[in-house]
Amino acid sequence: MKLGLSADEVLSTTRAVRKRLDFDRPVEVEVLEECLSLAMQAPSGSNRQHYQWVFVTDPDLRRRVGEVYREKFMINHEKNRTSDPKKTSGADDSRAAGFENLMSSVAYLAENIEKVPVLMVPCIEGRMENATINVTAAQFGSILPSVWSFMLAARERGIGSTWTSAHLKEDGEERVAEILGIPENFTQVGLFPLAYTIGTDFKPAKRLPPQDLMHINHW
């Protein structure tokens, strides 16, 4: 069931959702297919769509992937949790005030990630360990628009998510690939929990004004 949001509303209220994910409500395969169908309309390099999407619904596989995620998440979490939010977010940045809430939110997801009904792992064909910057940019630029389109389509259907990459540290990607049977010639671009949200009343976030970010003809 769609929420009936405008394009601007979807773009301005698609939040990183962690604590408001409904662990108990299943996400229908048909809804995932709708979102993926829309995601595949996004542009990709050379119009190839050379990617695959893994949706993990099996509870045991979610548990095993969650164990890897949690282990890799903890590598930097304690350091980030105890760091100075002003140094992390910027002395005059309003985001600094919410730093503790953010740390609580990401920790909550790590503790409960296997409870999320669906874990999505988008993968793009090819490895990038030794790639040049232009090749890396082209590769990620070929799938990231589709991933974001998926998240927007999910928001319109009352489904929340957040972009995570913690499991990609060290040997985490390799271990998750083995658990899920992902071929070694594919690169995982992240791990996305998918669940209906507890309430749909998300609002635009506080952000820097655009004039503070625009650099016209100079830096």
Domain extents for the chain?
Answer: 7-74+114-202
Q: Which fold has domain 7-74+114-202?
A: NADH Oxidase (3.40.109)
**Which of 29, 73, 54, 74 lies closest to 178, judged by CA?**
54
Which residues in the chain come in under a pLDDT of 50?
none
In terms of Cα–Cα distance, which of 206, 209, 182 is closest to 56? 182
Closest alpha carbon to 163 in 205, 120, 129? 120
- Report which secondary-structure segment, H or E, holds 26: none
Give this prediction's pTM. 0.89
- Chain-centre distance of CA 84, in angstroms? 25
pLDDT score for 91: 52
Supply the pLDDT for residue 176.
98
pLDDT for 215 equals 83
Predicted local confidence at residue 38, as pLDDT: 97
Q: CA-CA distance, 134 to 123, in Å (whole number)?
A: 19
Predicted pLDDT at 138: 87
**Strand locations in the chain, DSSP E?**
51-56, 118-125, 159-160, 186-188, 192-196
pLDDT (0 to 100) of residue 135: 86
Predicted confidence (pLDDT) per residue in 19-50, tens digit:
999 999 999 999 999 999 999 998 877 777 78
- Predicted confidence at residue 50, as pLDDT, reads 84
